[in-house]
Amino acid sequence: MKRMRCAGLLRDQLLPIRHPSARMFPPHHIRRTPHFTATTTTTTTTNPRPLSTSTRNRNSATTTAPAPVETSNPNPPATTSPEPPQPSSSPPPPQTAPTTLPPCRSPTTSAKLAALHARLSLHPKFPVQTLARALIHPSADPNPLFNNRSLTTLGSALINYYATEWLLCTYPRLPAEVLRAALSAYVGAKALASMGREWGVESAFEPRADVDAGLLQFKRLPPGPEVEASGYKWWQEKGERWTNGVPEEEATASFVTSTFAGVYLHEGVGPVKQFFRQHVLSRKLDIDKLFNFVQPTRELSSLCSREGFEPPIARHISETGRRSIAPVFVVGVYSGLEKIGEGHGGSMNEARIRAAVNALKGWYLYSPAPQVDLPSKTDDDPHAPFRPAVIDVGEVIV
């Protein structure tokens, strides 16, 4: 509400500032034409009793209707429900049965949640209740109907699949170790957690009843040196690591992964692929920094032997300051008449090794010039034309 008032008074001052609810990307459901019609079926029950929230919430649970949240129409989300529960203003009812939902489980009354929904440009078919469930880590609530464990499992299967196929089709010759490192850099817990921070997700200090439903709820790892927990905790499943809590990074990553699963469930295969492209593949990763060659010259020699190229020969190209304090040598590696790599260094040996590293990177970082089709292209449309990808023979083993 504060946001609206500001927008009314200081509209022109606020315009150039990037608003927290501004779209980070064009909406990934842009191709779908009028989607606002699906959202008009909000809770329409006119209830004479002001505090009987039980029937209202049961209705909203059975209908598919989330609160329509759009940046162009910034309704305060508290007003989307007919009677927002106001535990502080109204005196506690005399009857014993409590009637208000705890704030940590009432997503329709959370302004943070609606803002997050709008910031991510999620389709209105994506209910805020799913987004709220994605924010509850199993360590905050072990009940699988309330926490995000199954959403996280589904989402991690999805994003691992899309990331692997994209890397395999874009850089077919990557060594397996580099492929694993690149996968972890794109969809590992650290990358996902930083993505969640960029989305503006905040964490609750402790999962209590009074925290907002738009905050990430999890049990924090106790401070101090990490102590091995004894046995599974009440929120853990068999096969997990024994811990006394989870770090914030892991909880944030689980939320981001669950959001992918939610997009898949409510919007479909095409939108989740576009969501993945916009949020994961748009991040820049220097894959050539991931290599670590131990014996590059031997590896290059083995590579040329395996591929049937002429054996590599290092030749001195130029130099400067040989007798000075800072000499520079430039050495090229040739296979036959073709120069396959060039490097410079303070000594001839260093330059030769760098040239071999460059030649190897040139081989491993090959990318097909016409972009081949990703295998997931035929997932949603089996009759789509499909150009098969290049299948690499594997890295050189020295």
Q: Which of 9, 15, 17, 209 binds other proteins (CB under 8 A)?
A: 209
- Is the Cβ of residue 288 or residue 379 nearer to other proteins in the bound state? 379
Contacts of other proteins in 256-285 (CB under 8 A): 265-266
Using rule CB under 8 A, residue 149 touches other proteins: yes
Q: Which residues inside 315-354 make contact with other proteins, applying CB under 8 A?
A: 315-316, 331, 333, 336, 348-349, 352
Q: Which of 43, 80, 81, 106 binds other proteins (CB under 8 A)?
A: 106
Restricted to residues 14-43, the positions that interact with other proteins (CB under 8 A) are none
Q: Which is nearer to other proteins, 30 or 313 (CB)?
A: 313
Per CB under 8 A, the segment of 14-22, 221-229, 245-253, 379-387 that binds other proteins is 379-387
Q: Write a three-state SS string for the chain.
A: CHHHHHHHHCHHHHCCCCCCCCCCCCCCCCCCCCCCHHHCCCCCCCCCCCCCHHHHHHHHHHCCCCCCCCCCCCCCHHHCCCCCCCCCCCCCCCCCCCCCCCHHHCHHHCHHHHHHHHHCCCCCCCCHHHHHHHCECCCCCCCCCCCCHHHHHHHHHHHHHHHHHHHHHHCCCCCHHHHHHHHHHHHCHHHHHHHHHHCCCCECCCCCCCCCCCCEECCECCCCCCCCCCCCCCCCCCCCCCCCCECHHHHHHHHHHHHHHHHHHHHCHHHHHHHHHHHHHCCCCCHHHCCCCCCHHHHHHHHHHHHCCCCEEEEEEEEECCCCCCCEEEEEEEECCEEEEEEEECCHHHHHHHHHHHHHHHHHCCCCCCCCCCCCHHHHCCCCCCCCCCCCCCCCCC
Which residue in the set 40, 45, 55, 64 belongs to the binding site for other proteins (CB under 8 A)? 64
List 68, 127, 245, 271, residue binding other proteins (CB under 8 A) = 127
Closest separation between CB of residue 60 and other proteins, Å? 9
* From candidates 27, 29, 53, 181, binder to other proteins by CB under 8 A: 53
User: Binding of other proteins at residue 192 (CB under 8 A)?
Assistant: no
Give, as ranges, the residues between 217 and 256 that touch other proteins (CB under 8 A). Answer: 237-239
Q: Does 386 bind other proteins (CB under 8 A)?
A: yes
For position 369 contacting other proteins by CB under 8 A, the verdict is no
Q: How far is the CB of 270 from other proteins (least distance, A)?
A: 13
Of 20-28, 42-50, 217-225, 388-396, the segment contacting other proteins by CB under 8 A is 388-396
Binding residues for other proteins, total number by CB under 8 A:
99
With CB under 8 A as the contact rule, the residue among 74, 142, 200, 247 that binds other proteins is: 142
CB nearer to other proteins: give 14 or 305. Answer: 305
In the bound state with other proteins, the residue whose beta carbon lies nearer, of 129 and 259, is: 129
